[in-house]
Chains A and B, each alone.
Chain A
Amino acid sequence: DTEVTQTPKHLVMGMTNKKSLKCEQHMGHRAMYWYKQKAKKPPELMFVYSYEKLSINESVPSRFSPECPNSSLLNLHLHALQPEDSALYLCASSRFAVRETQYFGPGTRLLVL
């Protein structure tokens, strides 16, 4: 089983709202990732967690706050977003963070009004 689940599937939020995206995997993977994908563009890495510790932050604005409560869960907390943050947010996981296949979830389509 190579399933990564993400909730919600769709999210509409105002610029003053606080919301969270959730990602879950039960494959025993120790690395988890957040990507952002704009329309007609490839995914861009935002964060990498390895053994529940943040190992890469690709200079993402502080209005995006990741959290890894345990090895199976990854959250992305959103606060004071801008309309340009509207995108598909993809979560992925891999056995380890080094040269391992990353398995992606179905994504959360975010619209910021």
Chain B
Amino acid sequence: SQELEQSPQSLIVQEGKNLTINCTSSKTLYGLYWYKQKYGEGLIFLMMLQKGGEEKSHEKITAKLDEKKQQSSLHITASQPSHAGIYLCGAVLNAGGTSYGKLTFGQGTILTVHP
């Protein structure tokens, strides 16, 4: 099984609708990162969460970290076609040692926004 599970795998919404993407870890999280990727391009950093209960917002995107549940959610309000892409959560799943710097990613959520 995956160390980071993202759901849903794909999402199709009408412009203006709200949506939520979830990321659940099977291990203790030592940092949770959200990235967006257009197909065939690099990853664009969205937000980083480190503390349980932490919540960050940027424009219409809000991310929350529930450390006890080892889960994070990404919420987009009033979606626009520009929000379309692949959303990836990434996490540091080990405290240090030989694994420091290693970012493990979820499988990604493909978001389509219809005008």
Knowing A42-B88, A99-B50, A99-B92 are in contact, say whether A105-B42 is a contact too (CB < 8 A): yes
Is A90 a contact of B43 with CB atoms below 8 Å? yes
Is A106 a contact of B41 with CB atoms below 8 Å? yes
Is B101 a contact of A107 with CB atoms below 8 Å? no
Of chain B, the residue at the smallest CB distance from A43 is: B105
The CA-CA distance from A50 to B100 in the complex, in Å, is: 10
B44 surroundings in chain A (CB, below 8 A): 104
Knowing A42-B105, A42-B106, A103-B45 are in contact, say whether A98-B100 is a contact too (CB < 8 A): yes
The interface size bin for chain B is 20 to 34
- Interface-side segment among B11-19, B30-38, B60-68: B30-38
Within 8 A of B (CB), among A85-105: 88, 90, 92, 94, 97-99, 101-105
Is A104 a contact of B102 with CB atoms below 8 Å? no
Whether, in the assembled complex, A12 has its beta carbon less than 8 Å from a beta carbon of chain B, the answer is no
Is B43 a contact of A98 with CB atoms below 8 Å? no
Is A99 a contact of B30 with CB atoms below 8 Å? yes
Is A101 a contact of B33 with CB atoms below 8 Å? yes
A102 surroundings in chain B (CB, below 8 A): 33, 45, 90, 103
Choose from A6, A43, A55, A109 the contact partner of B101 (Cβ within 8 Å). A55
Q: Is the interface of A mostly helix, strand, loop or mixed?
A: strand
Choose from A33, A56, A88 the contact partner of B98 (Cβ within 8 Å). A56
Knowing A56-B98, A104-B43, A107-B41 are in contact, say whether A99-B31 is a contact too (CB < 8 A): yes
Knowing A42-B108, A56-B102, A97-B101 are in contact, say whether A109-B33 is a contact too (CB < 8 A): no
Whether, in the assembled complex, A31 has its beta carbon less than 8 Å from a beta carbon of chain B, the answer is yes
The CA-CA distance from A59 to B36 in the complex, in Å, is: 27
Is B42 a contact of A90 with CB atoms below 8 Å? yes
Using a CB–CB distance below 8 Å, which chain A residues touch chain B?
Answer: 2, 4, 6, 31, 33, 41-43, 45, 48, 50, 55-56, 58, 88, 90, 92, 94, 97-99, 101-107, 109
15 further contact pairs, Cβ within 8 A, besides A45-B104, A97-B100, A102-B103: A33-B101, A41-B107, A42-B88, A42-B105, A42-B107, A43-B105, A56-B101, A88-B40, A99-B50, A101-B33, A101-B48, A102-B45, A104-B42, A106-B41, A109-B40
